[in-house]
Amino acid sequence: MAHTGRPWSDFKPPAAAPVWAAIEGLGRYYILVAALELDVFDTLEWTGPVRVEELAAKLDLPVDHLRSLLDGVVAQGLLDQFVDLYELNDTARRYLVSDGPATMASLVPVAPGPHGNWTRLADTVRDGRPATPIEDDPAAFYVPLVEGTFTTMFRCAGRADLKVRYSANPASRVLDLGAGGAPWAIAILKSCPDGTAVVNDLDGVVDVARRKAAEHDVADRCEFRAGDFHTIDIESGAYDLVVLGHVCRTEGADGARHLIRRAFDALAPGGRLLLADYFPDMERKSNPHAVLMGTTMMASTVRGFTFTHRDFSEWLVDAGFEALRLIEPIGFQQTFIATKPAATKPR
Ligand SMILES: C[S@@+](CC[C@H](N)C(=O)[O-])C[C@H]1O[C@@H](n2cnc3c(N)ncnc32)[C@H](O)[C@@H]1O
């Protein structure tokens, strides 16, 4: 029976949980950053299950402070604890130890962008730009970022072959714009023994690609072309595959469309564009990961926003592409594949 008036009401107030989730978000993140910085995960990898006193001795940390930190990590499901023993769980083993198969250990500290920009977010919204955008010193931000994202993007690029079948053309010619550590170009070249790649990134960042390509034994098939992807020279009709991997969301709508047009021009007839990014749904609310990535871009770049599947589909078609497909080679990593018509129609 519903009651009305005091002390009861049949109006049930909403829970405060979403507000607490936002408040705790900051602490959750910095607990993880501290645990990584203090080498908790890598140390637990070689100790196995361990008492906090023993771990504190190994890490040379005060016991009570370490226990409090570890409990905060356990509360987030990122470590296991049995009575007073702590140990890695499967999530930590896969993502948080530095040699984990899908490690994100070096990505965690840099992924949200410069931390100081978050404390000035209201000013950024007021002013329409961050006070210290990453474009002021792109290499300082992107070098550690692309080191941190390489493992994930390399897995994504390798898995994409199951859908894209780039390996079917062993002599693929690849153009990777804003390549970072070149996870896409390297994955493709490793599957295409006679393939070659032009690997572009900004001066200072392209050296990461150079080093990663050498580590993967494909550097001799890469030309490293440093410079701004909006203005560097690109041959027309010369490539089988063009990669725009997580570059459009810093460029604004006009910049993203310009890159798509450059990709179209660079492709040979029948060639394909691989465009990876985080795409919000059309109403911008049922894919929070992509939506929040857009806010992250707004917080730290001059023109950065994420754009929806529909936006990209329209821009790709406008540029002349056909046969659009959207794939998700690994969780959260979506990629458009778009084909340049075999016989380009006059536009
Ligand atoms: C988020 S990272 C993506 C790296 C890589 N493509 C991937 O998918 O992992 C964006 C990359 O774009 C590069 N970049 C940003 N602005 C650029 C520009 N104007 N010209 C060339 N590269 C640029 C950055 O240096 C960085 O390496």
Q: Which domains does the chain have, with CATH numbers?
A: 17-100 (1.10.10.10), 127-339 (3.40.50.150)
Residue with the nearest Cα to atom 23 of ligand 1?
Answer: 178
Structure-block tokens of residue 106: 């070096």
Q: Output the ligand 1 site: residues, CB below 6 A.
A: 138, 142, 146, 149, 153, 178-180, 183, 200-202, 205, 228-230, 245-247, 276
Ligand 1 centroid from CA 304, angstroms: 13
Q: How far is the CA of 280 from the centre of ligand 1 (A)?
A: 20
The Cα 304–Cα 254 span in angstroms is: 11
Identify the sign of the CA torsion 56, 60, 65, 68. negative
Would you tell me the crossing angle of helices 40-47 and 63-75 to the nearest 10 degrees? 90
CA angle 267, 270, 274 (to 5 degrees): 60
Got the DSSP string for 157-222? HHHHHHHH-GGGSTT-EEEEET-TT-HHHHHHHHH-TT-EEEEEE-TTTHHHHHHHHHHTT-GGGE
| Number of residues that this document lists for the chain | 347
The CA 180 to ligand 1 mean position distance, Å, reads 5
Residue whose CA lies nearest to ligand 1 atom number 10: 247
Nearest-CA residue for ligand 1 atom 18 is 228
- Angle at the Cα of 82 from the Cα atoms of 78 and 84, rounded to 5 degrees: 105
Q: What are the DSSP calls for 85-147, one per residue?
A: EEE--HHIIIIISTT-TT--TTTTTTTT--HHHHHTHHHHHHHTS-SS-GGGSHHHHHHHHHH
To test the pocket of ligand 1, the residue of 136, 137, 146 to mutate (highest count of ligand atoms within 8 Å of its CB) is: 146
> Closest ligand 1 atom to the C-alpha of 139?
25
The atom number, within ligand 1, closest to the CA of 229 reads 20
The rounded Å distance from CA 342 to ligand 1 centre is 29
Query: For 332, which DSSP code?
Result: T
For the record, the structure tokens of 158 come out as 């390798």
> pLDDT 10s per residue in the chain (347 long)?
455 556 666 677 889 999 999 999 999 999 999 999 999 999 999 999 999 999 999 999 999 999 999 999 999 999 999 988 999 999 999 999 999 999 999 999 999 999 999 999 999 999 999 999 999 999 999 999 999 999 999 999 999 999 999 999 999 999 999 999 999 999 999 999 999 999 999 999 999 999 999 999 999 999 999 999 999 999 999 999 999 999 999 999 999 999 999 999 999 999 999 999 999 999 988 899 999 999 999 999 999 999 999 999 999 999 999 999 999 999 999 999 999 999 755 55
> Judging by beta carbons within 10 Å of its beta carbon (0-12, 13-18, 19+), is residue 90 exposed, middle or buried?
exposed
- Peptide bond preceding 133: is omega within 30 degrees of 0, i.e. cis? no
Rounded Cα distance, 185 and 164, in Å: 14
**Distance of CA 202 from the midpoint of ligand 1 (Å):** 8
The residue to mutate among 136, 150, 201, having the most atoms of ligand 1 within 8 angstroms of its beta carbon, is 201
Hey, how many other C-beta atoms are within 10 angstroms of the C-beta on 65? Answer: 11
Q: Amino acid identity of 77? A: G
Report if pTM > 0.75.
yes
